A and B are shown apart, each in its own frame.
Chain A
Amino acid sequence: MIDVPALLDGLQIVLSWQVLLFIILGLAVGVILGAVPGVSGALGIALTLPLTYTMQPLDAIMFLSGMFTGSVYAGGITAVMLNIPGSPGAVATTLDGYPMTKQGRQNEALGAGLMSSVIGCLVSYVVVFFLIQSMGNFVLLFQAPEMLMLAIFALSIISMIKGNLSKALIAGFLGLLLGSIGATAYGRERGTFGQIELYEGIQIVPALMGLLAISELFYLVQQKFIVGDKTTHIQRSFKDFVRGCMLVIKQKVNTIRSIIIGIFIGVLPAAGATVASLVSYSQAQTFSKNKDNFGKGEDSGLIAAETANSSSEGGGMATMLTFGIPGGSATAVLMAAFMIHGLTPGPYLIRDHMDLTYAVIIGNIIQAFFLLFIGFIFVWYFSKLVLAPARLIIPIVAIFSLLGAFSVRGIYLDVVLTLGFAVLALVMRKLDYPLIAVLLGLILGATIDGEMTRTLLIYEGQYLSLFERPIFTTMFVITMLLFILPIAQKVWARRKEKLTEGEL
């Protein structure tokens, strides 16, 4: 139910030139920072937080929120152009975005990415506006067993990866093993091999930089440009951007499904954009008529990933505002911003400052519109990267990737790990092991570890009673089907191929 007086007060607060200016500034700074490999939205927000001490509360919150939105979007740009996801949430974007760039379709990919981000962000905040209380009730239904199943559900992409199944599973298990390195729930070291710096586990940014960014340079060195040498046509026209934007509007079912997945997974603490974009990508592949084209430049894969990535932002904001529980590192810093300015997110914020809550939500809806214009300016310049020679891109990407890995914690081991992951990726690519499987395992390994520990502790000795939980049971069945069906389809297809060869 909408509190109309609070809504009118909120509108009055947010529709001032000062707030709108800070939204635009925040978006622009966020896009610039998010486009730098290794600099995440959370890092940028954390480091600019002190600059906002003297600002009015809503000015500060909208500036930082704009930075967050801008950096999430810009992470998708580098994912498309350079195979460098700006955040873990953009990993799924690289799967089809970068192949589109290599085919000379970078303008279409950037246009689709921009419109996906705008629509995802816009619709998610509109949903939050109307359903903020109900979304809170939904969050309470998800406890450790459901979170565990959700993370395993996200892993189901592994079974759909084209190519050798055993190699995909080996890569996935290896990623999970690497993701489990770090402190256990009891505070003891596990798999750190004497390195105290690994107590917090392997950080995602060094792994992403090594596995995706730097490993790609080993193949870029054999080409003159990012675009493959055999590509005859490179998109240069503004019409290609517009065509990319229209793709999102044409693929209504894919877009709506991705928004729903993004919002409902984004609402769950610790699940966030990464799980949302991966689940959305896998669902897009499941329901697509062009399954075989996924991973080779399929625009619906890019749209599914980016839409869910952006729409999870609204879900995460709803959880933070309703419960005071941050959905990820960036919302944690945004929460700090609220508290610094005298507002404590949670039930009391909703009860006592509903006007400010509405102002934040409406401000984020307005942000989505501004993102469209700011995004077009940036993508126009970013798209020119395909014309830059590879010999210039290689050292620049390497320098920024290694520095970005270092800037996460200021520990040099992260730089060494980045190089280590790059070597691992080079070897795996030569032997046809899918990198995405390692990445999935690495990203989800920590979540699975935490939720599994909690589930085992809560249900010690009574594991069968887990199946009395309806959401857990439903997700368990769907996850098993998602793992088994693609495997069965592959085995069946291979048998059919052998039978056909035998007949011939």
Chain B
Amino acid sequence: MAAEMKQFLFLFFVGSFTAYYYMDVQSLSEPEERILVEVIAGGLMILIVLRGSFSVFKMIRLRNDETSFIQDFVIWIKDKQAMLLLSFVLYVIFIPILGFFSSTILFFIGLNYYLKSRKVWEMTLLPIIVLSIIYLIFVFFLQVNIPTGLLI
């Protein structure tokens, strides 16, 4: 039941995006601009309806199943994957606020600590080496403008 609920939710989001995109392209005047999206959206909606119907059918059949979507989600939230995702989200949020190098140091050390690294060189020397290589390749050699913020 939980598995089919997840499938159904995913199909719902994909279907919503498809429908929104389809309606968005209707404002384009030339048929050549719309046809690819219309064909793809049409095919995708047919598949979503078929697969979604199958999921609904299975959910009805398994309605007495003891598995719970909410329970699975709560268990996943406590998993390492969720923490890793949270760390990536925070990292991406803080890069334009603090600057790339500052937020990278914090990200590197924080993530290493969470992943149970307790060696001093992994928490100090390694981030410095990695940032030095990044500076050399991206800033010095490739002249890429690294994002800055309040700090570097």
Q: Residue A166 at the B interface, CB < 8 A?
A: yes
Which residues of chain A from 443 to 457 have any CB-CB distance to chain B below 8 Å in the complex?
448-449, 452-453, 456-457
Do residues A222 and B81 form an inter-chain contact, with CB atoms below 8 A?
yes
Do residues A395 and B44 form an inter-chain contact, with CB atoms below 8 A?
no
Counting chain A CB atoms within 10 Å of each CB, which of B32, B50, B143 scores highest?
A: B32
Which residues of chain B from 23 to 48 have any CB-CB distance to chain A below 8 Å in the complex?
24-25, 28, 30-33, 35-37, 40-41, 43-44, 47-48
Binds B, one of A53-61, A85-93, A278-286, A397-405: A397-405
Q: Which of B31, B96, B108 contacts A399 (CB 8 A)?
A: B108
Can you name the residue of chain B whose Cβ is closest to the Cβ of A428?
B10
Q: List 21 A-B contacts (CB under 8 A).
A: A33-B137, A47-B141, A169-B43, A169-B47, A173-B43, A190-B28, A190-B33, A222-B80, A391-B115, A392-B112, A392-B122, A396-B130, A399-B134, A403-B100, A403-B146, A406-B146, A415-B92, A419-B92, A426-B81, A433-B10, A448-B36
- Minimum C-beta distance from A86 to chain B (A): 14
Report the separation of the CA atoms of residues A174 and B47 in the bound assembly, to the nearest whole angstrom. 11
Which residues of chain B from 124 to 143 have any CB-CB distance to chain A below 8 Å in the complex?
126, 130, 134, 137-138, 141-143
A176: chain B residues at CB < 8 Å are 36, 40
Q: Residue A394 at the B interface, CB < 8 A?
A: yes
Can you name the residue of chain A whose Cβ is closest to the Cβ of B103?
A399
Q: Residue B77 at the A interface, CB < 8 A?
A: no
B48: chain A residues at CB < 8 Å are 170
Q: Which residues of A pack against B, CB within 8 Å?
A: 33, 36, 39, 43-44, 47, 166-167, 169-170, 173-174, 176-177, 180, 184-186, 188, 190-191, 193, 214, 217-218, 221-222, 390-392, 394-396, 398-400, 402-403, 406-407, 410, 412, 415-416, 419, 422-423, 426-428, 430-431, 433, 448-449, 452-453, 456-457
Report the separation of the CA atoms of residues A406 and B144 in the bound assembly, to the nearest whole angstrom. 9
Can you name the residue of chain A whose Cβ is closest to the Cβ of B126?
A392
Do residues B85 and A177 form an inter-chain contact, with CB atoms below 8 A?
no
B17: chain A residues at CB < 8 Å are 177
Question: What bracket does the count of chain B residues touching chain A fall in?
Answer: 35 or more
- Minimum C-beta distance from B109 to chain A (A): 9
A392: chain B residues at CB < 8 Å are 112, 117, 122, 126
Once A217-B84, A221-B84, A419-B88 are accepted as A-B contacts, the answer to whether A452 and B51 lie under 8 Å apart by CB is no
- Minimum C-beta distance from A26 to chain B (A): 14
A416: chain B residues at CB < 8 Å are 92
B31: chain A residues at CB < 8 Å are 456
Secondary structure type dominating chain B contacts: helix
Do residues B95 and A415 form an inter-chain contact, with CB atoms below 8 A?
yes
Do residues A431 and B10 form an inter-chain contact, with CB atoms below 8 A?
yes
Do residues A407 and B144 form an inter-chain contact, with CB atoms below 8 A?
yes
Q: Which 4 residue pairs are nearest across A and B when measured between Cβ atoms?
A: A391-B115, A173-B44, A184-B33, A407-B144
Once A174-B14, A191-B37, A423-B85 are accepted as A-B contacts, the answer to whether A43 and B142 lie under 8 Å apart by CB is yes
Q: Which of A36, A190, A431 contacts B25 (CB 8 A)?
A: A190
- Minimum C-beta distance from A248 to chain B (A): 31
A394: chain B residues at CB < 8 Å are 84, 111, 115
Q: Residue B89 at the A interface, CB < 8 A?
A: yes
Q: Residue B6 at the A interface, CB < 8 A?
A: yes
Q: Residue B104 at the A interface, CB < 8 A?
A: yes
A44: chain B residues at CB < 8 Å are 142
Can you name the residue of chain B whose Cβ is closest to the Cβ of A432?
B7
